[in-house]
Chains A and B, each alone.
Chain A
């Protein structure tokens, strides 16, 4: 009797379980069939989701991320019908890996941010949708409304692949109190720093004022920053590195050595520390008044502003050499439309509408320090009055982008290899001449390697 009852209950339980599993199964199946709308469904079917969806990928965190959120909410307010899905990813090589693989796997976002220096590789690999003149014109994205140097870089083989958002150059920060004490201010403005000796003399005066260092630059674990300094000087000497898409090396050894020798003078004359960490060291030296100058990207503006309020200013990186046109290492953020498997998934119209809206809101973007590529913003009175941003807006015209090659660009092996060599020169471990030949063999090595594009 007892056993029978127990047995009976067991049967009931089994039946319930089967029914339950069956129900779960049918729900899952129904979800799978109707699941094109959700992300999981898309992963299986490869569908692009409802046509109101606009996927946007970008690597902006911190201050830039906060400004971007503002710009996006302005877009959302005016485009209720669009479901903007913005995805933030960690900046660097992994970001480009994800973007590339998603595009190859036919599930790209409709719009993404790229560094202009990474564009040649992406465009040459056929991963980007070329924006036709008629598509651009339809949204008012005409040539004359973009900063020229940035737009020139947005083309590949004569076709437009990117819409630049900004230019972000390598600049010179200075501490106003230190500069005043060092007698470097005239009517509240920094004296002329152009020329190899004038700049070092200014740092020497700053060093006397701080009693510690004259200037600083991140040299530890920041090969990109070292690259920017060297590239600025090297380009000011009128030299170039590679041509033919990176396959042919045209490095000017004399210029490379001269730039490196100048870099060595900074540490040999004890004007800047040979070892400074990116965030903890180099910036803190400026903000604590232990250094008068900081050579860094303008994107540190918010970090410095947070510590120094209005006691600092920024100017373009000085013109040390005048053998070539003025140059300062720079890059641009730009919007690209990764190639989608179908026009429905591409949504060019909706994507370009979004880009236009972001460009119109790019005054917000300049608060993070970037120079706007959108000329209506750059020419606006409010940007021209924005301090200290307006003080280095000219840098966009002298922007020295990375040479076009598969191994160059943001977070690339060229930055790493060259930057490491510059750091060894800072530390005085090798002579500028030997460093230049190490650079030469590094770039020759890369040029010889079969390109992955």
Chain B
């Protein structure tokens, strides 16, 4: 990463300027020197811990003892891959990703399309849809814990108004807990995708709409065959960012259910947290964390390839 930047830096210098030969060398040093702080930061806080995690995964390190612990080889990997908890938490992470990614793309698109059509007071809708995204996860969690509270919560009261006699326990019922958390997450983060879509919509030139209209395309045809395909790049961006964000879910689940009821909302990261910090098994938690990193990387690459292909086809 730093190599590419270093080579482009001297090239950016206007060729016409008569630059003495010997300063090129010092210019090279300047560029690397300026990159050094970031480079050091990157190595110390990103690459270093990653390598350390990889190494720690081969030891039975403990949080209550210093050092790496003793060598256990692939025992941690064997244990993780053979653990039902590991696979079920991965399943919950993927279920959460499905529950959030799809609506977060579709709802963001729908909201952006509608907001784009508003001629007056567009700022209000932009603000209204984006505002929740600015709240921290702790605020969202507290807010929705009250909304979803049994017996006294808003969600239950609204359900009763709509004629549901016995609304479910939103966060207490294993069938509903994940859906409830996903719904809260969608409300919270839809604004980000919405803004990206809105910007992309405003990039589409008026002439394209006019040409399509002159060619006899109805409103739905224009939307389906012209607007949505032209949003392809935005969709790729939103889909990839969203997938990665959803696979990394932790905060709101940690605060709203802490993985319960009966572990049905425990995502992989919470599993890592529980084995590492609650149980103090640092070595094993490192193994799981590394496995999770590889899995997220693979899923993201496959997803990116798929999206890119459909984008090209469209």
- Partner-B contacts on A (CB < 8 A): 93-94, 97, 100-101, 104, 121-122, 125, 127, 219-221, 223, 273-277, 280-281, 284-285, 290, 406-407, 411-413, 416, 420-421, 423-424, 427, 429, 449-450, 452-453
Contacts and interface: CB of A to CB of B under 8 A. Distances in A.
B152 A221 contact: no
Nearest to A280: B149
A277 B256 contact: no
A-B pairs, 7 with minimum CB distance: A275-B169, A452-B62, A220-B172, A275-B172, A125-B64, A280-B149, A452-B280
Contacts of A127: 64
A406 B263 CA distance: 21
Interface string B145-184: 1100111110000000000000001011110000000000
Interface in B252-293: 256-263, 274, 277-282
B150 A223 contact: no
B258 A420 contact: no
Contacts of B64: 100, 104, 121-122, 125, 127, 452-453
A149 B153 CA distance: 41
Contacts of A453: 62, 64-65, 280
A122 B63 CA distance: 11
Contact of A284 (B152, B257, B258, B263): B152
Interface string B223-262: 0000000000000000000000000000000001111111
Contacts of B97: none
14 contacts: A125-B62, A125-B64, A220-B260, A274-B169, A276-B150, A276-B151, A277-B150, A284-B151, A406-B279, A412-B278, A413-B274, A424-B261, A429-B262, A453-B280
Nearest to A450: B60
Contact of A420 (B151, B260, B278, B282): B260
B66 interface: yes
A424 B262 contact: yes
A93 B277 contact: yes
Given A97-B277, A104-B65, A284-B152, A423 B261 contact: yes
Contact of B262 (A281, A407, A420, A450): A420
A166 B153 CA distance: 35
Contacts of A277: 145, 149-150, 171-172
Given A219-B172, A221-B171, A452-B280, A273 B65 contact: no
Contact of A275 (B173, B256, B282): B173
Nearest to B275: A413
A413 B279 contact: yes
Given A104-B64, A104-B65, 17 more contacts: A97-B277, A220-B260, A221-B256, A221-B260, A221-B261, A273-B150, A274-B172, A276-B150, A277-B150, A277-B171, A424-B262, A429-B174, A449-B281, A452-B65, A452-B280, A453-B64, A453-B65
A424 B150 CA distance: 16
Nearest to A126: B65
Contacts of B277: 93-94, 97
Nearest to B153: A280
Interface in B8-61: 60
A38 B128 CA distance: 46
A119 B281 CA distance: 17
Given A220-B150, A413-B274, A100 B172 contact: no
Interface in B110-146: 145-146
B203 to A, nearest CB: 45
A413 B150 contact: no
A280 B146 contact: yes
A452 B277 CA distance: 11
A273 B153 CA distance: 15
A67 B149 CA distance: 30
B156 to A, nearest CB: 10
A421 B174 CA distance: 12
Contacts of B282: 452
A413 B258 CA distance: 12
Contact of B263 (A122, A275, A420): A420
B158 to A, nearest CB: 16
Contacts of A452: 62-65, 279-282
Nearest to B61: A452
A126 to B, nearest CB: 8
Contact of A104 (B66, B151, B173, B274): B66
Contacts of A93: 277-278
Nearest to B85: A445
A388 to B, nearest CB: 25
B257 A221 contact: yes
A164 B258 CA distance: 30
Contact of B171 (A220, A273, A416, A427): A220
B81 to A, nearest CB: 16
A416 B265 CA distance: 13
B62 A281 contact: no
Contacts of B173: 275, 427
B280 A406 contact: yes
B262 A423 contact: yes
A423 B279 CA distance: 22
A184 B223 CA distance: 70
